[in-house]
Structure formats: C-alpha cells, structure tokens
Structure 1
C-alpha cells in the first residue's frame, strides 16, 4: 500500500456561493483506477461562473442542473500517480499525467461512434461527484477516463495549460482555417491565447485578435497575432471592413463569453463566412438570426471540449511551438481558493490564468 493519508484537504462545492474547504476521505484505487497527487489545478471561467450560480450549471432558465453536489471542482489539473488499481496496465506510480476533462460512459451512441466528448451521460471532472476534480490534494482518475503522460521536466505553469490549450486546438480545428483566410479571434484570455498559437500553425493570411485588455492584446501579438484591436478604443467592425475591402472577415471565433462579442462577430463576418462559438455564457444571448440565414448564409459551428487533441498539445507545449510564457500569472494555495476565484473572475492584478497549487 502506498503512503496516502486517510484524509485530504479539498474545496467542496455545495451550492452557488457555498464552497467550503474541508478535510475529506482521500480516494483510493480499485480496478484500473489511478490516484494522483495533484500538482496544480487551473481556475477556469466555468468554475467561476459555477461558483456565482450560473443557470447553465445549477439549473434554471430551462436547463436541468448539471452540477451534482457536493463535488470537488477543477478540471485543468496535472498530477503524479501515487496509486494504481490492480487492473491498471498502462500507468504506474511516479508517472506524471493529465486526463481528458470528460470521463465518457463508452456505451451511448456518441461514445460508440468515436464522438466520446459529446457523451450523453456527460461526466466532466469537477461538476459531478462521481468524478471529483483537482482542487484537492489527491484525485481519482476513474475507469473509462482518458489519461496521457506528461514530460516530467515540463514546468507546472506549462503543464497546467494542456487542458485549456487542447480546448483551444479543437475550436481552431472546427474553424477549418486555410492560408488565404482573414481570421478574427475575439477574446485573448487563456483559451484565446491558446487559439493564437493553434491558428498560427495553420498560417492564415491575416490574424486579428480583439480584446478589451491591452496587456492581453500585447501577449496575443507576442504569440503570433498580426494585428490586435481593442473594441473600447476603436470601432472594430469598421476597421475589419476597411481591411477586407468591405467584405468582412472569412472566419470569426468567439471566445469571450460576452453577448456583445457575438453581435459584433455577426456584423463583421463576410457572407458565407464561418462563425465558431466557443464560450460558455453567464447569461442568455439574443441576436438577429436573420443575419445567419437570409443576409449572409453563414456556417455556424459550436466547439466543446478537446477530443483527440491532448497528445498533439502536450508535444507542442513541450517543444515550444504553442507559446505559453506568462499565461499562468497567479498561483494560490488551497487555503487561498477564495482569492484565486476572485482574481480569476475579475481579471484583476493583470491576471490571465490563475492556478491553485495544493502543495503550497
């Protein structure tokens, strides 16, 4: 038996605004399960929205509740294997791992046809209590989970970006960017910055990044954006129209989660362009759907999670071809989780990605 303590420190979500730091039983491995000692866990915008009670997570506005509380939040984690079940053949104690944020059922029609990220049951770490997340000292990677080895020499600040950057890559894959395309990416948070690197790999004719935060725009420029614009300072729709001879951009990727960014995208995209919606919204968004149909005949795509992206992203983060420098700006202990959530939610103190490090 490994020397795992019986109890561990964990953040537990009970209800909107009711999150508590507690001592809870440490998970143990049976079957082919894997237990990791959590090195770090990023705080996602979704975690913050869940804390503040977004109907998307807790139910309401026609949505059934998605969160099964009490649950330990956190899906952007990396850790070291400390225990494996007797049936585990691939991973061993000492391996450093991440896991796809969804634990598929492998039995529904989506799972059976290779589309596991749309699993009907849809267990995502940190939202259901049968798949508790990474805001704890230890974490169980259950049967059916998709696990990947991470180079041991990769700094934790880079390893924590594997999950968000895998989501970024999937979104960019959905956009199907070619090297003649004029691409506008709205949003330069962690996921937007991951998209900048992924878009650069596809070598579009022009990449314009929009954000209200000039420090993030500076980072986007450093990561490979051709042009950066702040909608607070310039009329971005007019600017994009000027740059494209009045036609509009070929591809618009929405990664802010603000309704105004959706409206702005529909205005600046060309006829028959491709609009990719990535965000989770805190509130309902209303737009003129006639633009999508009658005016412009748009291709409209959603993007969810990060199927088949982890292995490439781990390789690209490790070899530096997906830029990561300076994206993780803040690290807090579990004791300071409240401060971590506050800064992640407000973007205060020039924060981009905020992480919880249980060992701090």
Structure 2
C-alpha cells in the first residue's frame, strides 16, 4: 500500500476506557492510514458539553436499562477539531500534504437511505468522530479521517480561536435554519453558551423583529448583547412569561430555540411561545425531560422541531467568520495542553465564566 507522508508510531492521547476511566496516554498507537484515509496532525480541539456529559456517564452515551451503549471504548474523545494533513492513502485525491482541514462530526456510512437521499447527518448507523474506537476524536496528536468524512478546508488566515468554533457554530446555524426566521418574528433563544452565542450571531443576520436571549449568568447575557441580542433576561430574576407577553401584546414569542439542555428551559419555552409557534430543540440532556403534551397539541398546535449536528454548514460558517458577520471574539477563553485535560474539563463546565475551552497541540 502506497502512503504519502509519515507520522510517529505513538502519540499523546486522552483515552476513554469506560465512563469512570479516562486516561492520558503518552505513547498511544497513532492511527493507521488506509488507502482511502487522511491522517491529520491536530492543531486544536474544543471541549463540548457532550464531551462532559459523556465523561459524567450520561445514559444516552453509555446506555441504561432502556437503551444500549452508543459509545464503543476505548475511544479518544473530541469532535471540535482541525489540523493539517500529514499522511494520505493512495486513493485520496484533491488534497495535498500540509492542507489545513476539518470534518463534520458525523462519519456517514454512505449506504443507508439517509445518506443516499442527502440527509447524511442522520445516517442510520450514526457513527461519530470522538465516540467509537474506530472513529477516534481530536483529543490526540493525530486523527484519522475515513473515506466518507465530510471534509472542509480551513483557510490558513483563520485563527485558532475561530477554527475551534467551526463545529459548534455549524450546529448553531442548523438550529436557526430549522426555525425559518423571518423579519416579522419575535425570537427567543434560551441559553447563551457557545452554541447559543453561535445561534445569536447567526440569527442576527436573519434580521428578526426582536431577538431576545435568556440565560442565568450575567456574563453570558452581556456577551449575548454584544453578539446581537435586542433584549436579554435572567429567568431567575424576573417573570419571563410576563416579560415576553408584555412585548407581544399577550401572545407570546413566535419562535423559541432551546439551547441549555435544562428541562426547566423546555417547560419555559412551552409557556412563553404563542399558539402555532415554532419550538426548536437542540440540546443534549443529562436527564429525562417531562412536558405537558396537551400544550403542544390541544392548546397551542405547536411546530416542534429537532435540530441535530451541522449539515452543509461549515463552508458558510468559515466564510462568514472571516468576513466578520459571525462574531467570535472572546468565545474561546482558555487554551490548554492535553496534559491539563482534567483542568480543561473543569473549566469547560463554565463555572469560572468560560464559554469555550480548547486543547492546542504543538
């Protein structure tokens, strides 16, 4: 097999052997390059809320009495990453060693009905980078991109801080696109973490009638205003239903986008949204959420939409970050070495005021 480029036989990597056993390995085997594969040397990798929930043993990852385990250890976490090509298989065309690239989180099979009809992000096997041993993620010095990865080029002039946000902002774009915002809509985005901020700056480009953001932390509300929110509210300090109804002649908001992963935010949204409104749910939840479905059907006839991953979003996100249309200043607040992974995961919780933290590799 002809392989272009060379890499060391071992690398530094954070490896999840079980939900209770994450280890930094200093000499973990580097990925092998097949004839259709690309190997990148990782430049940086963000820490996602999903990475934290997986580390904390959430059932949607590790399974429970109802659902089987989705993750397949031992695996290397991380799906918000990018890097430069250092090795390519003999069948790879269109790329050169040294090219700076990233890829969608999903690794589509290319064979199921969803892949064949263009809905690759809903691929039936649903393997993802950073959760299975055969699709290891970016919390390592080197990563393998299989043949079916959806790859995008990362411009050399793009900063590390911007490039680390391509994946989360891609998810944000998809969620806002699902809402189909018009300039007549009063839009409420619940949650101003990294994903919420990506939604806010993109929703601002849609020019809604009113863009309102909810969060429990003042620093996040301040950043939301900076990124384009017209109004911000802390649900812990005011009656959100009263505030929204006062702004909408008693009807409620037209669109509610839920980006907190907190069950209380779901109930809040069903309360403040108007009849025939649109509710978009993006979050990964750490526990079950219960809602009164009679509100959704009998009382309000709501449009309930899910949002998953970042299909067809990366090129737009990359272009508009560089143009300054999508704001990114201050979102990536701390950069760590992989040896500091425990500290990085701690900071990624947001308890110290961070939005996004990332690992940088030499």
TM-score, structure 1 normalization: 0.98
> Could you tell me which residue of structure 2 aligns to residue 16 of structure 1?
19
- Structure 1: how far apart are the matches of 2:310 and 2:28? 30
- Matching residue within 106, 111, 118 for 1:114: 118
What runs of 5+ residues in structure 1 fail to find an aligned partner?
none
- Matching residue within 272, 275, 281 for 2:276: 272
More deviation in 56-65 or 192-201?
Answer: 56-65
- Structure 2: how far apart are the matches of 1:61 and 1:166? 33
Q: How does 1:122-133 map to 2 (within 5 A)?
A: 122-133=126-137
Residue 61 of structure 1 deviates from its aligned partner by 4.7
Do structure 1's residue 170 and structure 2's residue 174 form an aligned pair? yes
> Could you tell me which residue of structure 2 aligns to residue 356 of structure 1?
359
> Could you tell me which residue of structure 2 aligns to residue 201 of structure 1?
205
> Could you tell me which residue of structure 2 aligns to residue 223 of structure 1?
227
More deviation in 101-110 or 228-237?
Answer: 228-237
Task: Spell out, residue by residue over 1:73-100, the C-alpha distance to the aligned partner (whole angstroms, 9 max, x if none).
Answer: 0000010111111111011111100101
> Could you tell me which residue of structure 2 aligns to residue 247 of structure 1?
251
> Could you tell me which residue of structure 2 aligns to residue 236 of structure 1?
240
Do structure 1's residue 141 and structure 2's residue 145 form an aligned pair? yes
Residue 3 of structure 1 deviates from its aligned partner by 4.2
Q: Which secondary structure does the structure 1 equivalent of 2:276 belong to?
A: strand
> Could you tell me which residue of structure 2 aligns to residue 54 of structure 1?
58
Asked whether the equivalents of residues 28 and 83 of structure 1 are also in contact (C-alpha less than 8 Å), the reply is: no
- Matching residue within 102, 105, 111 for 2:106: 102
Q: Which secondary structure does the structure 2 equivalent of 1:103 belong to?
A: coil
Asked whether the equivalents of residues 171 and 276 of structure 1 are also in contact (C-alpha less than 8 Å), the reply is: yes
What runs of 5+ residues in structure 2 fail to find an aligned partner?
none
The number of residue pairs the alignment matches comes to 358
Residue 238 of structure 1 deviates from its aligned partner by 1.0
Residue 25 of structure 1 deviates from its aligned partner by 1.0
- Structure 2: how far apart are the matches of 1:63 and 1:91? 40
Do structure 1's residue 36 and structure 2's residue 3 form an aligned pair? no
User: CA RMSD of the aligned region, Å?
Assistant: 0.9
Moved over 4 A (4+): none
> Could you tell me which residue of structure 1 aligns to residue 9 of structure 2?
6
